[in-house]
Amino acid sequence: MKIAVWLRRLRLPLMLLVFVALAWLLAKDFSGADFQKLLAQADLALLILAGLPSLIALLFKGIRLCWLGEGLGFKLSLWEGIKYQVIAISLAMLTPGRAGEFSKVLLLARHDSRQMGAGTLAVLLERIQDLVVLGLLSLMFCVLHLHNGTLSLALGLMIVLLLGLGAVLLRLASRDASRLHHLIPLRLRGLMGDIPNLQIHRLVLQTLLTGLIWCLEGVAQWLILQSAGFQAPFLPVLGISALMSIASVLSLLPVGLGTVELSALVLYGGSLNVPQAGVLYLVAASRVLSLTPLFGLFGLIALTDKSLLRKVRSSAKSQVDEADLNKPSALDEGQTSRGAESASGPVQAQER
């Protein structure tokens, strides 16, 4: 508990350090004229094409959620899987650390509250699979393309530890899914019920699909660089995009502001010699191309299925109300302690 408290306290100072480092890097080398020149000379056809991989990745995320649902005892249509992913990812983009993505739990349990635990486990398994894939891609980049030996060793060791954690959690899920119950919030553990064990071949297929999803994100960044005239090799771009995705989770601000820009400037500038104007062009174009269709679909869902979002809000409110009702009050605790003291009185008198 103390470690978690200290980590929460350190996040704000760390974010301030991130923005100071970002401001220092931009003040040192950034050229507004070069950035305007890149915008004017960008290949619009390649830039539009770079938005296609993100849409395909969203489709695959919907398929992955459907596959997870089959293993955990609830069935979704492909449209439901895509719709839930659009809503959850949109909310995740607007919250620090992608916390809004857990709205997917409420969506999965909107028809049956008994599915709350299974939905939570599905979201956890998605994050574990993302951790394994992003860790592997980042480790590949650190080993093959990062020329700074000390930084490469430090990042490599950290990623190996993360990969080991992800592999252990996936193995536990394949043998006995109930062993992951301690990762689920306390108020949801009673709703877990009897969750079936996940078959290892299902988890392998889902992890392979996750790898394809993140490769598509790397393809999008590679196409954006090509549209600006930077002939960067694909594999280093894929590794850097994975590290940027990890960095986005560490930000206190929406859409990973600060940590994404800093990691992109350091990694693209240090390993591929992309100028700062090109890196900022890449980050800005990536956000526009990924967020525009995402929020467009979110708005379409909100207009055509208003009852869905209302049910999510009401489910969230009921969960909070239930947690407040189950929380013992100070009066209850005082009555309990006084009852214990009065019960111990006769025993002590008898002993005397």
Summarised one tens digit per residue, pLDDT across range 34-58 is: 778 888 888 999 999 999 999 999 9
Per the confidence metrics, is the pTM higher than 0.85?
A: no
Q: Which of 128-137, 226-235, 244-253 has the highest mean pLDDT?
A: 226-235
Nearest to 225 by CA among 266, 264, 270: 264
Indicate whether 285 pLDDT > 50. Answer: yes
Per-residue pLDDT tens over the stretch 141-198: 877 776 655 555 656 666 666 666 666 665 555 555 555 555 555 444 444 444 455 6
CB 244 within 8 A of CB 255: no
Average model confidence (pLDDT) across the chain: 74
280 or 338, greater pLDDT: 280
In this prediction, residue 101 carries a pLDDT of 75
In this prediction, residue 28 has a pLDDT band, given cuts at 50, 70 and 90, of confident
Nearest to 54 by CA among 301, 300, 225, 292: 292
252 or 57, greater pLDDT: 57
Percentage of the chain exceeding pLDDT 90:
16
37 or 118, greater pLDDT: 37
**What separation in angstroms does the CA of 129 have from each of 15, 79, 211, 214, 291?**
27, 22, 9, 11, 23
